[in-house]
Structure formats: structure tokens, C-alpha cells
Structure 1
Amino acid sequence: MKVCIIQDNGLNESLALVEAVAYLRQRGHQFALFLEDEERGGLESRIREFAPDALLVPSDVGAHHWFHRMTAWLKQRFPLPLISGGIYPTFFTEEAFADPHVDYLVIGEAELPLADLLAGLEAGADVSSQAAVWGRAGGREFRNSTIRPIRDLDELPLPDRALYFHYPFIRDFSVKRFNTGRGCTNQCTYCFNPRYKTMFEPGMPYVRRKSVGKVIEEILDLQRLAPMRSIHFSDDIFITSKAWIEEFAEQYPRRVGIPFSCNCMVDHLSEPIIDCLARAGCRAIALGIESGDETIRRDILRKYFTNADAIAAARRLREKGVLPFSFNMFALPGETPDDALKTVDLNLAMGTYHGRGNMTLVLPKTELAKKAREKGLLREDEAEYVRVMPDFRDSREFTAVAPEMDFRNIQNLFPLVLALPRQAPRIKKWMRGKYHGIYKLSLWLALFRERKFFAPEWLSAFRYYRHTGNPYQRTKNFASLI
């Protein structure tokens, strides 16, 4: 079958999607991908030129309003089977299926269910018994929720990264992202991982890792197709196995040798692990700090490292020449501005080079949403909350759990205080003071500081972000799903 994929924006380039497309191409299917933001008024003509047999619209939470607008637009113009998969159909299946323009939903990882669905549609067969597919056909509905994940990731073909490369700003962006596995070892309350893990059948491992050789093969394959100055490993947690990282530290610098960054947890960064990362060529590591208040971090977020652990890990990273970055959340359920200032203090004590400080967006149907509702901070029920929650691209500053202005100065001045730690007492006074919109200028500093983490070439970065906009608005943030 010829399948046309529609996405919103190049910022949401999906590593799971290019893996699924490569798998499906091996089974004889053809694909074209178009980005609405890039095609502007020409999207309809591009789709007609490709002449697809089916439409595929991946959907994320935080972009689900765009998804519903797009399905309506497509169905008005193309009487074709419309399929969706990804974060929104997997975790909000009822809400996604309530869209009358959707014909089929793929639940969980897409390779196996989408392969069977496309084969059935192409043959004109009955697909109502296929696992991990919800659908409507012939006036009746069927709902099969058992997911079908890939057990051995090394069996997958090389990802079809060229799927996006007819857009030069994506092809030529000098930072390339890779996933080395699927699943996460953590149980953070603000994430869908704990819920997704319960959907796996007994005996199916949730955390799976590609072999080091497979990861390097993917990098070398992409290096033949596009420029690559630096690499970011987008896995939620890059360190899941000491043996794996030891092999990686031996092979990667010899066979690839491109500086890289990754995401890690504080409590995974033992001295031997940091030695391996530094030896492999790791330039920077982003640590999920989230809060500097140990009680909030433990009881609200379910992260169990101490502030002393974070300070020690950051010190060891700096000693090995690896820059510590951090992810942080402000306006958490029950948090006060004084609590948020503890996050500032912890980052200063760590010597964090740069930290992302986001206003908390409580995702529906997570444990954090449940905790916020128990505290009386979310008035809507789950269904209503999904309906009223804005798209990330409409409002990255949205928070459902606290008066924003109590935290806005802290968020806006956070990059400045990390860049000028000697001025911390003065800047913290501004953080406690009356809100001033001019403090938002500090966020421009964040873009320059963050450049040292990803290390893009300047011109390619300018072209990329001119097309994609604010990198904080990425919604394609669940690595296993399209």
C-alpha cells in the first residue's frame, strides 16, 4: 500500500516512526511524509500527487487538538482509511477513537500491528481480530487493546531516516538524535512509563536495548546520508547496563568518535560509569533533577536520590570534563516559590552549566495528575482535563496546578542565575520580587547556553529553528511510540 504520513512540524521528527517505516518498507509498502507547517497551502496537492491508499497521522498528547483538526481536514478531502498511532491513541484510546474521522488506531509500538493492518487492508480482508488495533468498518466497531512490542530490537532494519530528508533543514541540521533502546527503568509520576509498563504481557521485557554494534551501525548508516557534527542519544535513560556502557566505551570512540550528549539519572552515575562515558567521548549529560526539595522529589515525583548525590555526581562529571546540564520543573503540585528556590540553590551547588526550567504541565492520566487532583489543584475530571489542556505549541507556559506568577520570575531568571552564579544573591532577590516581563529576555541566554549541550553548527541551527520554532515545545517525547 501507499501510505501518506502527515505531521505538524519538523521539531517532532520521530525516531520510532522511522524505525516503523523501515520495517514496513521491507513488507512492500510505500511511504511519503509531509509536514503541515512546511507545506502550508500546498499540503492537499502534495498528498494528491502521491496518490496514497491510506493516511497515517501520528498523534501526541500536547498536540491532540491539532490531530483532531487535521483528521477532519483530511477526511473532507480524501475518502481513504485514516490510521493513527502514538502517545495519544495508546494512552487516551477512548478519546482518540471518539473522533469520527479516524478509522483505525494502532496501540503501543507500531511495527507488528501496523504491518498486519496494512496487509489486511491491501487484501480486502477482515481486520477486526487483529491485536493492538481499534477500528470501525462496515458499520461496526472493534477494540483489541493487547499490545505487540518488539522483543529483540536488533531484528529491526536500519531506520529510514531519509523519510524526513526531503526537508533540507532537517537533513542538514548538524545534530542527529538516536535511540539505543525502548522502555525506561524509572517510575516517575509525571510520565506515562509506569502506565505503559502495565500494558506489557507477563514475560515480555519492558526495557530492551539494541546491541552496541547495532547502534553504531545506525550511526554509520546515517553518516553516509547527512552531515553529523554531534550526536544526542534521546533515550529517557542512557545508562541501563554497566556491561553495555563498558562495551560502548570501547567501540564507539574507535568506530565513530563523534562527541555526544545523553540523558541520565543521578543515581546511575557511579564513578566507573562516568569514566566510561568520558572515555567514549561524552561531552554533556542532562540530569533529571526536577526539584531541589528532597521531600517533593521523593513523595510527589518518586525520585529517590538526595541533593548530596546530585552534587557529588555533578562534581565527578566536571572532573572528567563532562558538562552537567539539568531538567527542572517549577509550580509542582503543592510547591511554593520558596520550594522552587531550593531547585535554584541545588543547581548552583552542583555547578550546573545550564538547566531547563519548565513550568509543570501535568499530563492527564498520570500519577502526578492524580496527586494534583487529590490536593484540589485540578478541578476537571480526566475527560474534561484532556479536552481543555492546550497544545504545547499554543502555550508552553501553561500550568494547571499553581498561580503562575508566583513562579514566573524564577523560571525566567533561571538561565541567568546559572550563567552568573556570583550574582546569585541579587538575582534571587529579583526572583522573589514583583513580576517583570523584561526578565523573559533571560530566556534568550538559555538558547546560547543550550547550544553548548547539543553543539550544532551555527548556520544549520539557525535554519532548523527558523522552521521549527521553540525546542521546548517538542511533543514527540516518548521514544517507543510513533
Structure 2
Amino acid sequence: MKIAFINDSSQQLGIQYMSAVLKQHGHEVKLFMDPQLFADDVIQINSLGKLFNYENKIVKDVKEFSPDLIGISIVTDFYQWACNIAQKIKAEIDTPIIVGGIHPTSVPDRVMNNKNFDMLCIGEGEFAMLELANSLEKGAIDYSIKNIWFRKGEEIIRNEVRPLISDLDALPMPDTDLYYSASPHFNRTGLYITMTSRGCSNACSYCCHSYLHELYKGKGPTVRQRSVNSVIEELDLNTNKHKIKFIAFMDNCFGYDLNWLKEFAREYKEKIGIKFWCIMHPNDVTEESVHYLKEAGCHTVDMGVQSWNEDLRKNILFRNIDNQTMENAIQLIKDANIEIMTDSIFDLPNQTDEDILKSAEKYIEIKPKRIYFYMLRHYPNTKMTRMAYDNNWLSKDRYEEVMDAHNVTSFSVGGDNVSKKLIKYQILFYLIDLLPKDISRFILKKKLYKYFPSFIGPALVVILRNLLAFDMNARLQRAWTINRYFHFTVKKTFNLKDK
């Protein structure tokens, strides 16, 4: 069986694992990547996006590959992109298309209304995709495969969700070469992306896990951890193959298991020894856990704060943690000379200007390495979106747009409500990152933020901030983006063929 995966401009671990499982069982897999030049989640310039559009080339290349099955993994931000490219493919070849990823998982009925999609995978796809490929190879589709919905004539067959994969070590190593062969920009910067666990013990209202906890209730533990040996084996394999300079662990709560972290620190320091970035929940940050992070060679910790208003955090965001715990966590990480980055969400329901300015005061004093400022973005079927609909924080029309991914504004450059006032606050928080404490205090005391320019869009503010950032994460992301744009603009301009 020949399976083609069509990919947006990001690197997706889910596809890497599915590819590894399929190849392990004799199937041929190829990735077709759309670089989304000037049409990604940050840079959106319509005229240049049309000039450097790769969709027709992808359709042509997929047609030449002549796959038996086409898979598209979809996030909400790129759902309309997926609909568009699926329509173009169907106009050329009648190959079945299966979609998966967090957007189809969250709103499967709505996604299956699009008749260009023949099948839909809910949740984890490794074994569902393998069973589907095996049945297609035998010449007859098995319509009873768990996790997969099928279009059969006018009927939609909705199969139940299978239990979560409990033993992550049973999976083969993720197929990193699938991406590295599709575009050199993935490995040119030396950044390697992986996960040591799946799931999250928390169910914050704005996050997809608030829905996934409900979907998988009774289907297995919410968090599953790979063994340290499995992680080290993967990293050892890839560090010997590629020039890896920095590793990003994309776990939702890295090191939540202290015993695991202790063993990891010892093995990682001895056998890998490469600087890394990780995400941690404040509740998991202790003197002991920070000691192990430092021992392992952790360079940066990203930690969600979201709001310094405890009432908002508890009753709106469903994050049951107090301010003192967060302050202590930030200080412990700083004391260990590990870079600390924090995430904050603004334009929350019932949030006041006073809340935002108190957050600014707090950040001036604790001074993390970098503050990531996000405006609230509603995603399909999250607890936040359902609360917003029930409480009329979202209009019915906007709710329908959210659920169908229409008029999407990426969370990284804006939100569902981008106002001049929020843009000024956005600039304020970015300046707090860059300026000495005394100057930041002066700006806040004299309310100079009121005079900040608001005519520039949030996307431009983000781009300028990223250009001025010197933390490791920003430098790598900047290099990754520059390499992607350089490679594919040159390729398009001079009509270069793939090697």
C-alpha cells in the first residue's frame, strides 16, 4: 500500500509515528509538504501567498505518486487550507482521503459534512491507520475499525473510540526522516522535536484537553509516559544521524513524575548532553525537580501562568493553583540559571484593565526571560468555547464560525477580539521583556502605554518582537522560519525540482 500524507508547514509527531508503524508493516509512505509561504500562522500577505502558492504542485506530485490512501492531519488554524487542497485533489484523482488531528477529533460530524473527506480518524491514529491500510490492501474496506468514521454512500458509519495506547514503548521510533527528506529546513537549524509522554493531567478550559478528557473517559490514563530508555534510544539514534544542537520536548507537563525525571537526568546527561527546552506545570516545579532539570542540561522552561487573577484562573480557566506557587516556581527556575518563559492570556471573560495592569506589575518584578502574550482564542468544543456560548460571551454566529473554523485568527498573532487597547497592552508586555525594570515601572506609573501605536496589527507586533528576541527558543524558531522561506522561495522562483 502507498500512503501519502499531506502536511501544512509544521512538523507533526503524530504523522511521524503513523508513518513508522505503517512502514514497520511493509507499507510505503511519502510526505507532501505545503510550506504555506506568506499564508502561515504568523505571516499572511495575500498577494505574495498567491504568488508562492504550492498547492497545485502538491496535487501534481501526489497524482504522480499514485497513492492508495491520502491522509491529512488538521489543526483548526489550517482547516480551510485542508478543505481547499482536498477539493483540488478530488478534482484530479479519486483516491480516498482520511482526515485526522485535533480539529476533526473535536468536531467530527461537522468535518464529515465535507464530502471530499471519505474517512475521519478520531484521536490516536497509529493502529487505526494500520488496520485501514491492511484492509485496503486486501481489497475490501473493514468498516468496523475503531476510531474511524466512514462515508458509505449517503451513510456515515461512526465507530467507537478505542482505548488510549497505554504502552508507548511498544510504538516504533518516530519517523523523523519523513520530514527531513521532505524539506531541509526541518534539520538545517539543528532543532529536534519529540515527546516523552502523551496527554495531560490538567483540563484547562481553553485547551483541547478539556474535551479530550471527556472523549477518553474510561479509555485509559490521561497521561502516559515513555520509559527513559525509550527516550534515550530515540535521541541517541537521531543525534548520530543528524547535527542536532537543541532538543524541544513538547510534552504538556514534562517531568511530572519525579522518579522518572531523576532517572532521565542521569541518563540524559551521560548519553545525550544536548541543551533542551520543555514545558512544565507550576505544580510540578520543586527544588528537587529543578535540580534534576539543571543536572540534565535544561536550557529553557516554558510555564503557563495565563492570569495572575486567582479567581479568573480558577473559575474561568480551570487552573487550580495559587499565585505564590507560580512565583516560587519562576524563582526556583531563575535561581538555577535556567531560562524561564511564561504564557499569559488576555481578553478573558470578566477580565478588567486592572487585572492586566497588575499582571504587568507582577512581570516587572519577577522578570522572566520572555513573556508570551496571547489574546483569547476559542477552539472547537473546548470547555471555554462551550462556556462562552452558554453565557453569551460569544454570539451564535461567531460560535458557528469557531466550530467550523471560519474567519480564523491564529492564537499566535491575535484572538477572537483584537482591539486597539489590547494591541497597546501587547506592546507593553513585550517592552517589559526588553527594558530594565526602572523604565518599565516608569511607563506603567505614567501610563505611557496609552500612547503606544495601535494602528499596527498584532501580527506585525509579534514579528517585530520575535526579531528582537534573543532567547534560545526565539532564535531557533526564527532560524527555522528563515530557512523555510529561503528554501521554498528559491525553489519556486527558479522552478527547482526535488532531488
- State whether TM-score is above 0.5: yes
Correspondence 1:19-418 to 2 at 5 A:
19-37=17-35, 39=54, 41-137=56-152, 140-166=155-181, 167-200=183-216, 202=218, 204-380=220-396, 382-387=399-404, 389-392=406-409, 396-400=412-416, 402=417, 404-418=419-433
Quick one: structure 1 residues 373 and 432, their matched pair in 2 at CA, closer, same or farther if it must change by over 3 Å? Answer: farther
Asked if the contact 1:112–1:148 (Cα under 8 Å) also holds between the matched residues in 2, the reply is no
Q: Which amino acid aligns with 2:93?
A: F
Q: Give the Cα–Cα distance (whole angstroms) in 1 for the partners of residues 210 and 361 of structure 2.
A: 30
Aligned to 1:6: 6
Quick one: structure 1 residues 445 and 90, their matched pair in 2 at CA, closer, same or farther if it must change by over 3 Å? Answer: closer
Quick one: structure 1 residues 237 and 410, their matched pair in 2 at CA, closer, same or farther if it must change by over 3 Å? Answer: same
Pairwise CA distance, 1:235? 0.8
| 1:457-479, Cα deviation, whole Å (9 max, x unpaired) | 9866631465699xxxxxxxxxx
| Secondary structure class of the residue paired with 1:328 | strand
Pairwise CA distance, 1:148? 4.2
Higher mean alpha-carbon deviation, 341-350 vs 411-420, is at: 341-350
Quick one: structure 1 residues 119 and 370, their matched pair in 2 at CA, closer, same or farther if it must change by over 3 Å? Answer: same
Q: TM-score, normalised by structure 2?
A: 0.87
Higher mean alpha-carbon deviation, 156-165 vs 378-387, is at: 378-387
Q: Give the Cα–Cα distance (whole angstroms) in 2 for the partners of residues 54 and 329 of structure 1.
A: 40
Aligned match for 1:437, one of 455, 458, 465:
455
Pairwise CA distance, 1:194? 2.4
Quick one: structure 1 residues 221 and 448, their matched pair in 2 at CA, closer, same or farther if it must change by over 3 Å? Answer: farther
Quick one: structure 1 residues 297 and 389, their matched pair in 2 at CA, closer, same or farther if it must change by over 3 Å? Answer: farther
| Secondary structure class of the residue paired with 1:399 | coil
Asked if the contact 1:291–1:329 (Cα under 8 Å) also holds between the matched residues in 2, the reply is yes
| 1:195-249, Cα deviation, whole Å (9 max, x unpaired) | 2122226362221010111111111122133221111111111022010001011
Asked if the contact 1:113–1:148 (Cα under 8 Å) also holds between the matched residues in 2, the reply is no
Structure scoring higher RCO (CA < 8 A, sep ≥ 6) equals 1
Pairwise CA distance, 1:96? 0.9
Quick one: structure 1 residues 372 and 334, their matched pair in 2 at CA, closer, same or farther if it must change by over 3 Å? Answer: farther
Pairwise CA distance, 1:171? 2.3
Q: Give the Cα–Cα distance (whole angstroms) in 2 for the partners of residues 13 and 75 of structure 1.
A: 25
* Aligned alpha-carbon RMSD (Å): 2.4
Q: Which amino acid aligns with 2:211?
A: R
Pairwise CA distance, 1:397? 4.1
Q: Which amino acid aligns with 1:161?
A: T
Q: Give the Cα–Cα distance (whole angstroms) in 2 for the partners of residues 24 and 168 of structure 1.
A: 23
Pairwise CA distance, 1:315? 1.5
Q: Give the Cα–Cα distance (whole angstroms) in 1 for the partners of residues 3 and 371 of structure 2.
A: 40
Quick one: structure 1 residues 76 and 16, their matched pair in 2 at CA, closer, same or farther if it must change by over 3 Å? Answer: same
Q: Give the Cα–Cα distance (whole angstroms) in 1 for the partners of residues 478 and 148 of structure 2.
A: 44
Q: TM-score, normalised by structure 1?
A: 0.90
Q: Which amino acid aligns with 1:319?
A: D
Pairwise CA distance, 1:17? 1.2
Q: Which amino acid aligns with 2:4?
A: C
Q: Give the Cα–Cα distance (whole angstroms) in 1 for the partners of residues 150 and 202 of structure 2.
A: 32
Matched residues, number: 465
Pairwise CA distance, 1:447? 3.9
| Secondary structure class of the residue paired with 1:285 | strand
Q: Give the Cα–Cα distance (whole angstroms) in 1 for the partners of residues 322 and 263 of structure 2.
A: 29
Pairwise CA distance, 1:455? 5.4
Structure 2 residue runs without a partner (length 5+): 37-53, 490-499
Asked if the contact 1:259–1:282 (Cα under 8 Å) also holds between the matched residues in 2, the reply is yes
Quick one: structure 1 residues 454 and 249, their matched pair in 2 at CA, closer, same or farther if it must change by over 3 Å? Answer: farther
Pairwise CA distance, 1:24? 1.1
Q: Give the Cα–Cα distance (whole angstroms) in 2 for the partners of residues 206 and 101 of structure 1.
A: 33
Aligned to 1:478: none
Aligned to 1:456: 476
Asked if the contact 2:22–2:29 (Cα under 8 Å) also holds between the matched residues in 1, the reply is no
Asked if the contact 1:311–1:349 (Cα under 8 Å) also holds between the matched residues in 2, the reply is no
Q: Give the Cα–Cα distance (whole angstroms) in 2 for the partners of residues 128 and 40 of structure 1.
A: 31
| Secondary structure class of the residue paired with 1:372 | helix
Quick one: structure 1 residues 338 and 467, their matched pair in 2 at CA, closer, same or farther if it must change by over 3 Å? Answer: farther
Asked if the contact 2:269–2:296 (Cα under 8 Å) also holds between the matched residues in 1, the reply is yes
Q: Percent identity?
A: 26
Aligned to 2:43: none
Asked if the contact 1:292–1:345 (Cα under 8 Å) also holds between the matched residues in 2, the reply is no
Q: Which amino acid aligns with 1:244?
A: W
